[in-house]
Amino acid sequence: MATKKSAPGWSDVKTKLSDFDRAALIGLVQDLYAASKDNQAFLHARFALGDDVLKPYKATIDRWLWPDVFKNQDTSVAKAKKAISDYKKAIGQPEGLAELMVFYCERAAGFSNDVGLQDEGYFDALVRMFGQALKTIDGLPVGAERKLTHF
């Protein structure tokens, strides 16, 4: 009976990376950067590059919480929340997280009001995000909330 090999994981990748020199690592990161806009947003946020590292995350939140109903686009709370989670993995600065959470709440509330959305799951997610936003803002250093663009 053949043994079942498990799927490769981080430790397997880490082992392979240990053989790379500096140039090979930079080449790998360049390939990852070119592979997707999500990777680009991650690296821009991680290294604080550009004027607004929150912009791509806000664009994702906006797309999934305020879709174009005339193009028959749908909402997705999970995909909007994933943008916040992705930012948290990239850099996770509390001020940026708070701003994304507040933006999430603004877009969700605005869309539901604009189109008369009556979706209990959508509202529940909005209330939970509002609570998380308040908790995050409460944890900011004194005066930091003034730096948020929504305050």
- Summarize pLDDT for 100-143 with one digit per residue, the tens: 999 999 999 999 999 888 889 999 999 999 999 999 999 998 87
On the question of pLDDT at 147 being above 90, the answer is no
59 falls within a domain: yes
33 falls within a domain: no
102 falls within a domain: yes
17 falls within a domain: no
**How many angstroms separate the CA atoms of 97 and 95, rounded?**
5
DSSP string, 108-148: HHHHHHHHT---HHHHHHHHHHHHHHHHHHHTSPTTGGGGS
52 falls within a domain: yes
Largest CA distance in the chain: 65
Among 22, 121, 113, smallest CA distance to 81 is for: 121
25 falls within a domain: no
9 falls within a domain: no
137 falls within a domain: yes
Report the Cα 134 to chain-centroid distance in Å: 18
Q: What is the pTM of this model?
A: 0.84
Tally of structural domains, the chain: 1
At 75-102, the pLDDT tens digits run: 999 999 999 999 999 998 999 999 999 9
